[in-house]
Structure 1
Amino acid sequence: MTRAGHDTLQTRKTLTIDGKKYDYFSLKEAQAKLGDLSRLPYSMKVLFENLLRFEDGRSVQVEDVEALKTWLATRKSEHEIAYRPARVLMQDFTGVPAVVDLATMREAMKALGGNAQKINPLTAVDLVIDHSVMVGEYGTTRSFKDNVDEEFKQNIERYQFLRWGQSAFKNFRVVPPGTGICHQVNVEYLAQTIWVEEDEDQKGVNIAYPDTLVGTDSHTTMVNGLGVLGWGVGGIEAEAAMLGQPVSMLIPEVIGFKITGKMKEGTTATDLVLMVTQMLRAKGVVNKFVEFYGPGLDALSLADRATIANMAPEYGATCGFFPIDAETIRYLNFTGRDPHRVKLVEAYAKEQGMWRDANSVDPIFTDTLEMDLSAVEPSMAGPKRPQDRVPLSKAVESIKAIAPEIRKSPVEGAGYDLEDGAVVIAAITSCTNTSNPDVLVAAGLVARKALAKGLTTKPWVKTSLAPGSQVVTDYLTKAGLQADLDKLGFNLVGYGCTTCIG
């Protein structure tokens, strides 16, 4: 259940979808009283709605809403607001302490003679177990089973505790181990783009509002590719949000990133995001929102957008936001979301001025920069930092610059030497890469081509495939590409972060 504020500006209206009614807080009605705010960035419109809905005269006042009008004039602000996300996303490393605190609070309530069952998260919480699987076994058909068995053996107490938490607390769900990486599970399943909850003060009345979240992982930002505003926070902030407390923040600057053109054949979203990261690092976007706009968005799939949004921590922004449009709707349908909810997403976005299409007027931003997608070239992440992008055409000279003299060392009992620059770990993993079908299918096709040319994996290379979700295994298997990857040693080792977190 959710609660609403005083609605001093009288913006609460009703939207009907297939005969079902939803209350919502109208940005149009607010603008009739405050003046035209239609050219606010889409990400700021999400904050606008949040302030309208929670305006209670205490934590959120009408002056906080009015501060957005001032922002539109100055494009920056020192005004502090109280933002309440719709939900909290956690993973098993940073999320367990929060559940321990809830359990401790219940014990304290019981000791005081109160009802321990009243201690529950006030905001919906999803905890995805993805950080604990290790790649102990690799390169065989038993790798996945052996690694999962070892994972349960080492973490059984934690997992039993989390399973108890799911049954004991309201508003708390656990996605079990072996399912996927939390950010991809969030995009594919948990996120709804428009959230719906019953009004706690009016039984039977549902309120629709933008899906928003904070998460205890920096790459929580990935879901911004689906038009869901979210970013990573520390454990204390996430726990406060879980208990219904607002996130205190300054109204952010918003950097508009205009995208034009189309990508050339042979380039991927990974190449694109490395260039985006390099440009935004040079621009300086720390503590700022980045919002993508322009005609080039129509050439980016949802998976490509999620890849770009995912790496907001690498380019330094609070988030990298993509507004709701036809591609958002296509993806929600494609991933099996409830058809009624998908209709609500489209109708709500259009009613609230949160819908983007080719005819949309560009928002007003604090500052802007621009990229032509045709300029993207195959690239590698820098040897230490992703923003130190290395074009593939300059890879050889880049390695020579790092190691001008190649040293060799014999491996005792192995019959071969290792030299500077030798690849010893080849892991197809990370929430950034394994969320994108184009990248994963490309990996499978490279494996197939390598086999056709008689190439094999060097004996010193540790190979692994850890997809972001079971969906990846499904399409690689159906395409016949998993068999090619297996032959080179890239057998499934688990669904989780694995090598990416060391």
Structure 2
Amino acid sequence: MNADRTALLTVGRRSYRYQPLDRILPPAELDALPYAIRVLLENVARRAPESLADVVSRMRAGSGAGEVPVHPNRIMLHDTTCLPALADFAAMRDSVAELGGDPERLQPSIPVDLTVDHSVIVEEYGRADAVERNLLIDFHRNGERYEMVKWAERSVDNFRVVPPGTGIIHQVNMEALARVVWQDDPGDGGLPVLHPDVLVATDSHTPMINALGVVGWGVGGLEGQAAMLGEPVTIPYPDVVGVRLTGRLRQGVGATDLALTLTELLRVTDVVNKFVEFCGDGVTTLGWAERAAVSNMAPEYGATCVYFPTTTRPPPISA
């Protein structure tokens, strides 16, 4: 297969490169492909072209063994799983220095975002200053941990920290960190490359971000550390279970009702370690809150990814 399949896209006065999938697959095959798989296919074509032929062969076979090497754009950590990764980075940098090398050269190869939200415990409540008092208790209790995080924030490139009291990791991911469309600047004067936002994170509820049309799922700490160093996250070629939604929610039926009903249905269907993808006219009536509630429940029915494609846009938020 031709290694250079990128195409030119001009938006206003700016030009970009992107990976058109119709240069990989004929229209009939592409139209039949789930959107989540299209995102993975684009990722392989752009980052691991040596594996593209095998992935396409497995896709066309429709069954059988096969692996997809996924290179995430970014990784997300919370304040519990971050410590082993940061300790390993510190140890490796010390080893490089002891061997006479430059420890500054050992840096994450992709952006890493740490959201501090798992340490805070509610000790004070029912008073106006409860939030501030809980944060003071948290800083005192976890002072050594936060010193380690502060060292990493100052010393490690591609590493950002969202401090305590800002919000839960998945809320922060959806509202502030996710880009949906990612832009890579080649650094050689060439045109920037646009591609879908793909991430992994060390938390089981990571699929909540699938509500925005971002492919992402939870991984273990070792997989996360490997991704930080530029290694692919290899997953079995995913089976995709489609869910077609019709109509709209009745008055008084909320996001929690929808999420619990779909959880019961998907448990019976058996979607463990599979991708779930929503389609149908009913999807366009769901807002971000409803989609996020459904995707956030992925660990309860065992799905790896619970995807709402960006082609099914929700209604506008009314003032």
Q: Normalising TM by the smaller chain, what interval?
A: over 0.9
TM-score (norm 1): 0.61
Provide, for residues 349-390 of structure 1, a one-character-per-residue CA deviation record: whole Å limited to 9, x for no partner.
xxxxxxxxxxxxxxxxxxxxxxxxxxxxxxxxxxxxxxxxxx
- Is the 1:51–1:65 contact (alpha carbons within 8 Å) kept by the matching residues of 2? no
* Aligned residue number for residue 28 of structure 1: 22
Counting only pairs closer than 5 Å after superposition, residues 238-387 of structure 1 correspond to structure 2 as 238-325=224-311, 327=313
Q: What percentage of aligned pairs have identical amino acids?
A: 43
Alpha-carbon distance in 1 for matches of 2:269, 2:155 = 47
Q: 1:105 aligned to 92, 97, 118, which one?
A: 92
Q: Secondary structure in 1 aligned to 2:245? A: strand
Q: Does 1:11 align with 2:5?
A: yes
Name the Cα RMSD after superposition.
2.0
- Is the 2:285–2:314 contact (alpha carbons within 8 Å) kept by the matching residues of 1? no
Alpha-carbon distance in 2 for matches of 1:28, 1:253 = 22
- Is the 1:123–1:244 contact (alpha carbons within 8 Å) kept by the matching residues of 2? yes
Provide, for residues 8-38 of structure 1, a one-character-per-residue CA deviation record: whole Å limited to 9, x for no partner.
3531112111211211111011125x97322
Residue 56 of structure 2 aligns with an amino acid whose one-letter code is V
Provide, for residues 198-235 of structure 1, a one-character-per-residue CA deviation record: whole Å limited to 9, x for no partner.
225x4443111110111100001100000000011110
Residue 180 of structure 1 aligns with an amino acid whose one-letter code is G
Residue 25 of structure 2 aligns with an amino acid whose one-letter code is Q
Total equivalences in the alignment? 319
Q: Secondary structure in 1 aligned to 2:282? A: helix
Q: Secondary structure in 2 aligned to 1:160? A: helix
Counting only pairs closer than 5 Å after superposition, residues 108-127 of structure 1 correspond to structure 2 as 108-127=95-114
Q: Secondary structure in 1 aligned to 2:300? A: helix
Alpha-carbon distance in 1 for matches of 2:59, 2:259 = 30
Larger Rg: 1
* Aligned residue number for residue 171 of structure 2: 184
- Is the 1:77–1:253 contact (alpha carbons within 8 Å) kept by the matching residues of 2? no
Provide, for residues 365-417 of structure 1, a one-character-per-residue CA deviation record: whole Å limited to 9, x for no partner.
xxxxxxxxxxxxxxxxxxxxxxxxxxxxxxxxxxxxxxxxxxxxxxxxxxxxx
Q: Secondary structure in 1 aligned to 2:127? A: coil
* Aligned residue number for residue 214 of structure 1: 200
Alpha-carbon distance in 2 for matches of 1:330, 1:15 = 27
Q: Does 1:53 align with 2:46?
A: yes
Residue 78 of structure 1 aligns with an amino acid whose one-letter code is A
Q: Secondary structure in 1 aligned to 2:243? A: strand
Q: 2:54 aligned to 63, 78, 100, which one?
A: 63
Residues 282/36 of structure 1: CA separation in 2 closer, same or farther (3 Å cut)? closer
Residues 35/297 of structure 1: CA separation in 2 closer, same or farther (3 Å cut)? closer
Alpha-carbon distance in 1 for matches of 2:183, 2:207 = 21
Q: Where does the alignment leave 5 or more consecutive residues of structure 2 unmatched?
A: none
- Is the 1:9–1:30 contact (alpha carbons within 8 Å) kept by the matching residues of 2? no
Alpha-carbon distance in 1 for matches of 2:89, 2:43 = 26
TM-score (norm 2): 0.95
